């Protein structure tokens, strides 16, 4: 399946990186890489994540981090769309409704 990030998800990734790079550049790079690697896993296993409370979406926890990928599987177009990347402590469901 093809993997696509929405503009919002790319902004979230950039924001996470920018926040972390001020504190620890190595951790910022590692975290960004881990998030992208988690998304790549979805190409082969699109239903790894659990169903989300937000209709037609799934959430996938990035291993070893507090971050969640929020995504949708579009089987008809063989595509996975990552809508957002949130810290688990955020009230992300309210932001997506």
pLDDT tens for each residue of 12-70? 999 999 999 999 999 999 999 999 999 999 999 999 999 988 889 999 999 999 999 99
Instruction: Pull the structure tokens for residue 76.
Output: 């008809």
Give whole-number Cα distances, 57 to 28, 32, 73, in Å: 27, 22, 8
Residue 8, in any domain of the structure: yes
Residue 95, in any domain of the structure: no
In this predicted structure, what is the pLDDT of residue 97? 55
Residue 94, in any domain of the structure: no
Which range of residues forms the domain containing residue 78?
2-89
CATH number at residue 8: 3.30.2310.20
Percentages helix, strand, coil for the chain (3-state, rounded to 5) are 45, 30, 30
Residue 6, in any domain of the structure: yes
Q: Are 82 and 6 in contact (CB under 8 A)?
A: yes
Number of domains in the chain: 1
Q: In whole angstroms, what is the distance from residue 7 CA to residue 86 CA?
A: 14
What band does 91 get if pLDDT is binned at 50, 70 and 90?
low
Q: Check whether 3 has a pLDDT greater than 70.
A: yes
């Amino acid at each position: 399946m093809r993997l696509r990030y929405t503009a919002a998800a790319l902004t979230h990734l950039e924001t996470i990186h920018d926040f972390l790079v001020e504190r620890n550049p190595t951790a910022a790079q590692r975290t960004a890489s881990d998030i992208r690697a988690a998304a790549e896993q979805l190409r082969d296993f699109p239903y790894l994540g659990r169903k989300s409370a937000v209709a037609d979406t799934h959430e996938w926890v990035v291993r070893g981090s507090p971050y969640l990928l929020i995504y949708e599987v579009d089987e008809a177009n063989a595509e996975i769309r990552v809508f957002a990347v949130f810290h688990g402590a955020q009230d992300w469901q309210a932001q997506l409704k």
